[in-house]
Amino acid sequence: MKQLLLPLQRWSPFATPGPETRLVNRSRMMNYDQPLVWVTMILMLFGMVMVYSASISLPDSPKYANYKNTHFLVRQAMFVLVSVIMAALVFRIPVLSWQKLAPYLFVFTLILLVAVLIPGLGKGVNGAKRWLSFKIFNLQPSEFMKLFMVLYAADYTVRKQDYMHKLTKGFVPMLAAVGVVGLLLLLEPDLGAFGVIVCIAMGILFLGGINGIWFGGIAATLVGIFTLVIVLSPWRRERIFAYLSPFDDDHALGKAYQLTHSLIAFGRGELFGVGLGGSVEKLHYLPEAHTDFLLAVIGEELGFVGVMVVVLLFYWIIKRAFEVGRQAIALDQTFAGLTAKGIGIWIGVQAFINMGVNLGLLPTKGLTLPLMSYGGSGVMINCIGLAILLRVDYENRVLMRGGRA
């Protein structure tokens, strides 16, 4: 009789959950965010396919005559493999360790940005010195600064929480740090990376509770600074004029050459594209098709549908980052929450700028599409950033189970 009553007691809606019930409920929660891992892998593998499609004809030009058709595919596959391994290792590092290391990582990356400008150390490509050459690979410190600015700004906001409404103690030190980074990036020059880093810092300070009046005033000042940089730079002014009227005879074969061919690529793609591998613009018409203008090749070969898939995948990652951050803050893990949201801001702003440039919504800037464009530093640092986001979510789940982060 007792054995017959046990199932009724176990399934009674009025019964107090016993240890077995609590164990079952806990086991339903995954140990880590599997959808985030899959979406990230889909973007990287999709990017690898499109990098191959965009670069397969490059060896036909004299510049890449010594390259094989699979050169960029093989290198991108190596970048993805190394990045996944690095992400797996980074995932094992507690968020508290990142908080302790944040100021040191920021200073270390500042030193790397200075080293880029030293003759003999920095490597120049197309008139810009943004890389440190290590024979086997090139390192781009500005990519690392994006992630370390997220960590530094989150740590700074937590440490200065009591002074966030004061100008001298709350905002000026952060303004000085961003100013130093901006000066070094403008000397490379890399205005695009500087814009992303400013958005990261300002976004985290805003989420951290900075005084609204000061925030508005500083935002207006930064807009003025960017405008002044453009006005004082003749070639940047020409690029703005070309952006405003790209198909003019004076611009179509000059500063607006990339933009016009990018727009032609999207126009050819229409709704469903011309088919994978069928792009004409990648045949030496559209420069940097495998890096900055990868989305244009996607638009031409896979059409509006392919572009929307990419947009929705990035939207999901950004939305998930803010959800993880909100959950961490609700669990009183402020640094972790701001870091998660900062990673969402970073990925979102960079993806938006790259897509805007490809679609002609923004002036041409040398920013890659996160996780997808060709490049080792970019893919690796994107994976590391998302591994930290995954770690924040993992610690949230541990805390919700009643454990320790």
Q: What is the pLDDT of residues 207-250, one digit of tens each?
A: 887 767 767 777 777 777 778 877 777 777 777 877 888 888 77
Sign, CA torsion 358/363/367/370? negative
5 pLDDT more than 70: no
Whole-angstrom CA distances from 295 to 181, 273, 357 are 29, 12, 10
20 pLDDT more than 70: no
Report domain extents, the chain. Answer: 34-90+245-405, 103-232
Helix or strand (DSSP H, E) at 352: helix 334-359
Q: How many CB atoms lie within 10 A of CB 296?
A: 30
- Residue 314 is predicted with a pLDDT of 98
Whether omega before 246 lies within 30 degrees of 0, making that bond cis, reads no
- Residue 24 is predicted with a pLDDT of 42
Q: Which residues of 217-248 are buried (b: 16+ CB within 10 A; e: fewer)?
A: ebeeebeeebeeeeeeeeebeebebbbeebee
**Quick one: pLDDT band at residue 405, thresholds 50, 70, 90?**
low
Kindly report the backbone phi and psi dihedral angles of residue 126, in degrees, each rounded to the nearest multiple of 5, phi listed first.
Answer: 55, 40
- Residue 127 is predicted with a pLDDT of 64
pLDDT tens readout for residues 187-209? 888 888 988 999 999 899 888 87
In this structure, of 112-126, 145-159, 178-192, 337-351, the range with the lowest mean pLDDT score is: 112-126
Q: Across all residues in the chain, what is the average pLDDT?
A: 86
- Residue 29 is predicted with a pLDDT of 58
Residue 216 CA to residue 218 CA, distance in Å, equals: 6
374 pLDDT more than 50: yes
**Quick one: pLDDT band at residue 392, thresholds 50, 70, 90?**
very high
Average pLDDT over residues 334-343: 97
Residue 356 CA to residue 359 CA, distance in Å, equals: 5
Look up residue 120 and give its amino acid. Answer: G
321 pLDDT more than 90: yes
Cβ–Cβ < 8 Å for 128, 366: yes
User: In a 3-state reduction of DSSP, which class is residue 133?
Assistant: strand
β-pair partners for 44 = none
